[in-house]
Structure 1
C-alpha cells in the first residue's frame, strides 16, 4: 500500500536546484482576519519557488479589515487582489480565485495560517507525474517568529491509495493540485453551505487520482483559532449549523455522484463518522431529534448497504430505524446508545468513573442548602480570598457546613470544615450536593453546575497582562483556552472586583454579565488588619526567617509559551542569587514565591542562608506583610502589595517579548507602575542598594497608583462579600 520514493536518486537528478515545473497559483480567501493576514501573506511571498502568483480574495470583509488589508498589500506583480462586494463564503471566494488565476497548479492557504518558506518547492519537487501531492501540516503553537521551522531540501515521501485515510479530515489545505484535471468551467467548491465546502473538491480529486504522494516534512502550519466565541473559524460554528451543512452537502454530492462507487463509499464513510461524532451528541437534547430527524432520515436512506453492513450493530440498528423513519423507536435507541456510551466512557479509568458518578448520580441528589465548598489555587493552598471568607464565617458562627478541597487529604486547617481530597469520590459528591461553591480559580470543565448552585468566583488578582477575550491570540499548552474559559465562566454567579479598573476589564475579558461585587479583595484585609511589627515577627519566626534582616520578596508570573503541559509551566530563574547575596546579604534575605502554575522546583543551592523558596507557603498575603521590598515582573501581585505602600521593583528582562508577542498589557508598564523597570540582576541590586532614592523618585507616581487601584480596600472587604452572597439573599 505504501512505498517510499528513492530520495537519493531524485536529489542527484535535481542536483539540489529548484526546477520550474510551471506556475503555482496560491489562493488565500480573506474574511475579517486582519490579526493574521500579514504573517500569512508574507509566508506566501517569501517562497523559495519563484514561479508563483498569489490571489487574495477579500470576501466582503468589514471596513476596518478591508482598510487594513489594502494598506499592507505590497506592490508585487505576483499578487492579484480580488474584492467581492458582499460576503459570499469561502467556497465562492475560492471559486472566484480559481477563475482569476492562470497557474498550472493550485494551492489553497487559509488567511490565518502560514507555510514554510520552501513548502511549494518541496511539493513541486516530488509531484512528478501525479495529479496531486500533499504536504504535512503541524499546529502553529507559538508566535511565528519564535517557531523553530527547520527547512530541509530533502524529504521522505509515501504513496497511498486509501482516499478515506487521506481525506478523512475533509480539508483541501496543503495540497498542490494540477489544474488540468478539472474542466475550465466547473465550480470546484459547493457554495450553498458555509461548512464542509472542501468535500466537493475532494470528491473530484478522488475521481481523478488512483494514488497520492505525501511529503513527510512540515510544510503548512495551521493556526487553531482559539476564540470560537467572539471570532470563530468556519468549523467552530455550533454543532447545529455544522450538522445542517453536512447533511446538505452530503445529499447533494450523493445525488451528483450516485454512479461512482469510490466517491459514494467515501461520502458514506464521512456521513457515518459525522453521525457518530456530531449527530449523536446533538441528539443528547431530545428536542434536536425532532428538529433534525427528517434531514437525517433522508441522508441515512442514501447509505450504501454494503458500507452500512460493516458498521457496529448499534449503528446498523439506528440507521435501520432512521431509514424506516421510526422516530419513536429511534429516540429510545439513541437514549440507550448515549447511556451506554457514557457508561463505557466511565469504565475506562477510575477518574472517568468518578465523573460518571458525578453526572449520573451526585448532581441528582437533594441539594444541601447550607453547605459551602471552598477551593484555592486548584487545591494547592489554604489561602487567598476563599480562606478569608471561610474564616470570617466561622468566626461569626454562621449556620453553614463547610468543605475544603485540597490535593493533600491530610491538610490541617482551623475550624470545623471537612477536608476532602481533590478528584476523590468525596470531591465529586460534595460538589454535586453543595449549594455554594467558592473558588479563586476555575473549576474543571467536566464539573457540570446545577441550576440551583451559587458559584462565588473570587478571582486572584488585578489584571496587568491581558486576559482571555482581550487577548488577540493565545500560545499556551491548551489550544481551547478561550472556549473552555467561556464555558467555565458562564457558571459564575458572583465575581469579586478589587477596583473600578478591574471591574471594567473583567466585563470585557471574561464577557461577564452577572453580579459584579465591587468590594475589593477579601484577601487584602490582612494588609490593613495585621500590619503590625509583632504580628510580622511572628510570621517570620513561623517561616524561619531571621528577625534582624529585611526581606525581599520575588514573585514572578509564568510565560504562556514555555510549558511542559497544560497548567504546568517552566521557569528559568534570571535573578543572580549568588551576586545578590554578595552585595545585599548583610542586610537582606530573599523569599522566592513562584506562580502556582510553575512546575519547576527552584534551586537555592549554595545560597540557602540567603534565599528561601516559599512557593508552597499557603498565604502570599503574609509574605507581603513580612517583606520590605517586592520584586515582580508582570504578576498582578504588585497591585495588592501597593496597599502597603512599600517599594516595588519590576524585573522585566523579557518585556518586549511578553508585551508585544505573548500577552500585551492593559497599562503602560514603563510609564504607569509605581517603581523602576529593570532588566538585569545588576540593576536590581543597584535599586535595592539605593532604595531610599527610589522611594523619593516614585513617590508621586505611587500616590496616584494607590488612589487608582487600592482605594476600595479598607479592611472590610470580606464582611461586604459575605453579607451580599450568604446573608442578604436569605
Structure 2
C-alpha cells in the first residue's frame, strides 16, 4: 500500500501534463501511486498518460470513453486509490521538489491527521511566481492538531482541491464526492474541513498552482458560472442539523458571499450581458442563506441591498475612462500618419470580403513555406478565394507571374488587410493589424520546435532581443487556427502560446511535395543545380546562433569538400539572415561548394539531396519525411542548449531524439561519410524512430486538409495515411540505381568524364 495516491484529472492539458506527471514521479519520496484519469481528452493527453504508464508502474492510467467532467474524474481516481493519503493535483499544476517527503514527515509527527494543509504559489505565463496570502496563517498553527471549531480562522484558507492531503479512510468513510460542474472543489473543501476532527498545517510550499492565461474553466465566461449558487446552497444544506457548527455559519456565509461577489466582478467569469441576471440570483441567494443578525461588510452591500444600478453606473464611468485612455494610447502607438490611419479605419468599416485571403511568410519575404502550399491548393480546391500576398518591395521581383501581391504600408496593403476574411502567415502579422469579427487567422508556423519558443523564451534573453511577450500574446490572440505537424508540436504550441486558438493537426503543407514530386521532381531539382547522376549530394543547412552576430562557420567547408572528393557535392544553405556571406560566396566561386542560400525553395533542395547535414535547424524534421540519411553536426551543443534552451536532447543517441549519426568536429563528419555510417543500419534505426515521432501527420495531403477545413468549412479532417503506407519521393540513388559511394576501383565522375 503506497503512502500517497496522487490523483490527476486530465482534460485538454497536453502542453502541461508531462511537467505535472514528472513533478510527482520524480519526487525524492517514491512510495506513491499516480492515478491519471483521462476524461476523454480530445488532445494527446491520453497518449501521454499511456506513455508514462509504460515506463513507470507507479502510474495507473484510467480512461473515460465520454467526457464526464473533472468532478467525476476525481471521484473515479479516489475510488481506485490505495494510498494512505489522497492528493488531488490538476493536470496543469506541479508538486514542488521534496514536498512528499516533507509531508510524510509531518504526517507522522502529527499522528496521521484527517487533513494536512500546505502552502502554494501561483505561477504565471510571464515566468514569475506569487506567494499565497496564507503563509502566515498556516504558520500560526504551529504543531497544533485541531478541529475547525477550535480554530475558525482557518476557514479563510483558499478553498481549492490541491493544497491539502486527505487521509483516505477519513475521505472514503465519510462518502465525500465531487459534484459535476465548476466550483465543485469549494464545496468539498468546506465539507471536509467542517467534518474533520484532526487538522494540521504546514507553511511549506508544496503546490505550484498554474494561473493559465487561457483554457481554464474558471476563465471561460458564460452561464456555467451560475452553478456557484447551487454549490453553496448544497453547503448550507450540509450544515443543516449540525448544531455544533452553528457558530461558524456567519464566517462560512461571508466566505461564500465573497466568492460569489468575486465572480460577479470578474469579466472572465460573468460577462457584461449576464451581470444583471447573476446579481439578481446572488441577491436571492444572499437573502435565503444569510444567518440571522448578519451584518454585511461594505464589500457585500451590493448583495445585501441589490444596488445593481448604482454599481453599474460607477463601473461604466470608470470603464469609459479606462477605455478612452486605452484607445488614445493605441492610436498614438499604432499610427505614424493620420492619412494612413484614416484610410485603414475607413476600410475597417467596410464589409469583410468573404472571398479574399491574404498570405505572408517570413516577414513578407515572398511566396514561401506553408502559406505558399496552402495558396496553391486553395487555387485548386477553392478557386472562388482570391489570394493576395504581402511581399516586401525588395522581394517583389521574386513573386511568380500571375500571383497578386501588395507592398506593406501601401493603400492596397491596408485595404487588403482590412477587408480579407482569411489571413494566413507562418509568423505574425504586424501589431497594427486589427482582428475583425468574422475573420479567420491561420498560423502555419515554419518548423517543428527543437529550441524554446513563445513564452518559454523568457528564461533565455539572448534569444529574445528585447521582445515584448505581452505584445506577442496580443498577436497570438488573433489566431483562430494553429497548424501542427506532430503531437510534440501540438503540446508545445498549446503551452507556449496560451490563447484560445484551435489546433489543426493537418501536417505541414510545405512537406506535401515530398510525397507528390516523384522521380521526375527529384531529377528536375538536381538538374537545375547542375548535380550529375553519379554524384552524392549533401545538403548542409545550419541554423543561426542567437548568441553570435553574423555568420560564423561551424565546419571547414573547404576541408570537407577536399577530403570527400569530387563524387560528393556540398549544397550549402546558411540561414537566410546570413545569405550573401563573402566566405560562402568565395567557396562557391572556387567550385568547392554550391551556394544555395538564396535558392527560393528549400523543398527542392531537399528533393535533390542524398543526405542532410544540419545542427539545430527544423529542416531535419521536414527532411525526415523523405526517409533519407540525416547527420547532426553540433560542435557547440552545450552553449546552444544553455543560451537558447531546447525541448529534448538532440545528441543523446536515444531513438526518437537523435535522427542519425552525430559529429562534433570536422574529422568526425568526414569519417561519417567516408566510412559509410551515415547510411548504415544504426542510422536507419534512429531515423525510423525519429520519423515515427515527428512525421506523424505529413502524408502529402496537409494543404488539402487546411483548405477544406478553413476555406470550405468542412468538419473534421481527412484521415492521415499511416507512416508505413506512405511513399515519399525516391532518393536519387534509387532513381539511377547507383551506389551512393563508388565501389573500390570504380571511376569517379571526373575520371569517367576524362575518359
Taking the aligned partners of 1:344 and 1:526, their CA distance within structure 2 comes to 45
Q: Is residue 705 of structure 1 aligned with residue 690 of structure 2?
A: yes
**Cα distance, 1:343–1:389 mapped onto 2, change above 3 Å:** closer
Compared with structure 1, are the counterparts of its residues 86 and 725 closer, same or farther at alpha carbon in structure 2 (3 Å cutoff)?
closer
Corresponding position of 2:441: 455
TM-score under structure 2 length normalisation: 0.50
Are positions 1:520 and 2:507 aligned together?
yes
Does 1:509 find its partner at 2:484? no
Assess if the C-alpha contact under 8 Å between 2:634 and 2:664 holds in 1: yes
Take 2:328 and 2:499, find their aligned partners in 1: how far apart are those partners? 36
The answer on 1:619 being equivalent to 2:601 is yes
Q: Which residue of 1 aligns with 2:704?
A: 719
**Shift in Å at residue 714 of structure 1?**
2.1
> CA contact under 8 A between 2:344 and 2:414: conserved in structure 1?
no
SS in 2 for 1:553: strand
Which residue of structure 2 lines up, in the alignment, with residue 594 of structure 1? 574
Other structure's SS at 1:394 match: helix
**Is 1:374–1:438's contact at 8 Å kept on the other side of the alignment?**
yes
Return 395-404 or 647-656, whichever deviates more: 395-404
Distance 1:434 1:229, change over 3 A: farther
SS at match of 1:650: strand
Check conservation: 2:485, 2:696, Cα contact below 8 A. no
> Relative to 1, partners in 2 of residues 1:510 and 1:691: Cα closer, same or farther, differing over 3 Å?
farther
Conserved 8 A contact 2:389-2:405: yes
**Partner of 1:633 in structure 2?**
615
2:661·2:678 contact (CA, 8 Å) conserved in 1? no
Q: Give the drift of 1:722.
A: 0.9
Instruction: Give the corresponding residue for 1:578.
Output: 558
C-alpha contact 2:359 2:388 (8 A) present in aligned 1: yes
Change (3 A) 1:692 1:494: same
Mapping 1:5-24, distance limit 5 Å: none
Alignment correspondent of 1:559? 545
Q: Give yes or no for the alignment of 1:418 onto 2:450.
A: no
Deviation at 1:483, TM superposition (A): 2.8
Name the residue aligned to 2:413: 427
* Partner of residue 135, structure 1: none
Secondary structure of the structure 1 residue equivalent to 2:459:
coil
SS at structure 1 position matched to 2:559 = helix
User: What's the counterpart of residue 750 of structure 2?
Assistant: none
In the TM superposition, what are the counterparts of 1:114-513 in structure 2 within 5 Å?
349=336, 354=340, 356-357=341-342, 360-396=345-381, 398-408=383-393, 410-414=396-400, 416-471=402-457, 473-475=459-461, 476-511=463-498, 513=500
Q: Distance in 2 between matches of 1:625 and 1:617?
A: 13
**How far does the alpha carbon of each residue in 1:195-217 deviate from its partner, in whole angstroms, 9 at most, with x for none?**
xxxxxxxxxxxxxxxxxxxxxxx
Give me the whole-angstrom Cα distance separating, in 2, the residues matched to 1:415 and 1:341: 42
Distance change (3 Å), C-alpha of 1:706 and 1:90: closer
Aligned to 1:361, the other structure's residue is in SS state helix
- Work out the CA distance in 1 between the residues paired with 2:352 and 2:440: 11
Measured in 1, the distance between the counterparts of 2:712 and 2:694 equals 28
- Equivalent position SS for 2:357: strand
**Which piece of structure 1 moves more, 675-684 or 710-719?**
710-719
Over 3 Å counting, the alpha-carbon distance change for 1:372 and 1:646 in structure 2 is: same
What SS class does the counterpart of residue 590 from structure 1 fall into? strand
Find the residue that maps to 1:603 and give its secondary structure.
helix
Deviation at 1:426, TM superposition (A): 2.5
Q: Provide the C-alpha distance between the structure 1 equivalents of 2:666 and 2:342, rounded to a whole number of angstroms.
A: 53
1:378 is displaced (CA, Å) by: 1.4
**TM-fit CA distance, 1:623:** 0.8
- Does the CA-based 8 Å contact 1:631-1:648 persist in structure 2? yes
Q: Deviations over 1:295-328 (max 9, x none)?
A: xxxxxxxxxxxxxxxxxxxxxxxxxxxxxx9999
Residue equivalent to 2:625:
643
Aligned CA-pair RMSD: 4.3
**1:411 aligns to what SS in structure 2?**
helix
Q: Equivalent residue for 2:96?
A: 64
Alignment partners' CA distance in 2, 1:346 and 1:643:
42
Whether 1:652 aligns to 2:684 is no
SS at match of 1:452: coil
Structure 2: how far apart are the matches of 1:502 and 1:230?
19
CA positional deviation for 1:535: 2.4
Alpha-carbon deviations, 1:565-601, whole Å to 9, x = none?
Answer: xxxxx33112111112211241122222233455773
Contact 2:633 2:664 in 1 (8 A): yes
Pick closer, same or farther for the CA change 1:544–1:449 going to 2, 3 Å: farther
Matched-pair contact (CA < 8 Å) for 1:556–1:633: yes
Per-residue CA deviation, residues 552-573 of structure 1 (Å, 9 max, x unaligned), is 111122223335xxxxxx3311
Task: Summarize the Cα distance change of 1:63–1:537 in structure 2 as closer, same or farther, 3 Å threshold.
Answer: closer
Q: Is the 8 A contact 2:366 2:398 kept in 1?
A: no
Q: Tell me the residue number matched to 1:664.
A: 646
Distance 1:229 1:558, change over 3 A: farther
Mapped partners of 2:472, 2:331: distance in 1: 27
Identify the residue that residue 221 of structure 1 maps to in structure 2. none
| Distance of aligned partners of 1:62 and 1:635 in 2 relative to their CA distance in 1, 3 Å threshold | closer
Where 2:483 maps in the other structure, the secondary structure is strand
Q: Equivalent residue of 2:397, what SS?
A: coil
- Change in Cα spacing, 1:92 to 1:588, as seen in structure 2 (3 Å) is same
From the superposition, tell whether residues 600 and 66 of structure 1 become closer, same or farther in structure 2 (CA, over 3 Å).
Answer: farther
1:696 aligns with 2:671: no
Count of aligned positions: 433
Report the 3-state secondary structure (helix = DSSP H, G, I; strand = E; otherwise coil) of the residue aligned with 2:569: strand
Cα offset, 1:548, TM superposition: 4.9
* 3-state SS in 2 of match to 1:502: helix
Match of 1:10 in 2: none
Distance 1:493 1:562 in 2: 35
Counterpart CA distance in 1 for 2:382 and 2:488 is 34
Secondary structure, counterpart of 1:604 in structure 2: helix
Please identify, of 505-514 and 434-443, the stretch whose mean Cα deviation from structure 2 is larger: 505-514
Q: Is the 8 A contact 1:463 1:666 kept in 2?
A: no
- Say whether the 8 Å CA contact 2:366–2:399 is kept in structure 1: no
Distance 1:596 1:484, change over 3 A: farther
> How far did residue 335 of structure 1 move?
8.4
Distance 1:329 1:512 in 2: 29
Structure 1: tracts of 5 or more residues without a match: 1-60, 71-84, 96-227, 232-286, 288-324, 564-569
Q: Which ranges in structure 2 are unaligned for 5 or more consecutive residues? A: 1-92, 103-117, 122-129, 137-209, 214-271, 273-312, 716-755
8 Å contact from structure 1 (residues 498, 518) kept in 2 = yes
What's the secondary structure of 1:484's corresponding residue?
A: helix
Partner SS state of residue 674, structure 1: coil
Distance in 2, Cα, partners of 1:694 & 1:372: 44
1:656–1:346 CA distance, 2 compared to 1 (3 A): closer
CA distance in 2, matches of 1:600, 1:552: 20
Taking the aligned partners of 2:526 and 2:403, their CA distance within structure 1 comes to 27
Distance 1:626 1:482, change over 3 A: same
TM-aligned CA deviation for residue 514 of structure 1: 3.0
Superimposed CA distance per residue, residues 19-47 of structure 1 (whole angstroms, 9 cap, x where no aligned partner): xxxxxxxxxxxxxxxxxxxxxxxxxxxxx
CA contact (8 A) 2:427 2:445 kept: yes
Residue by residue over 1:511-543, the C-alpha shift from the partner in whole angstroms, topping out at 9 and shown as x without a partner, is: 3543222221111110111131x3223223434
The normalised TM-score by structure 1 is 0.52
Contact 1:648 1:674 in 2 (8 A): yes
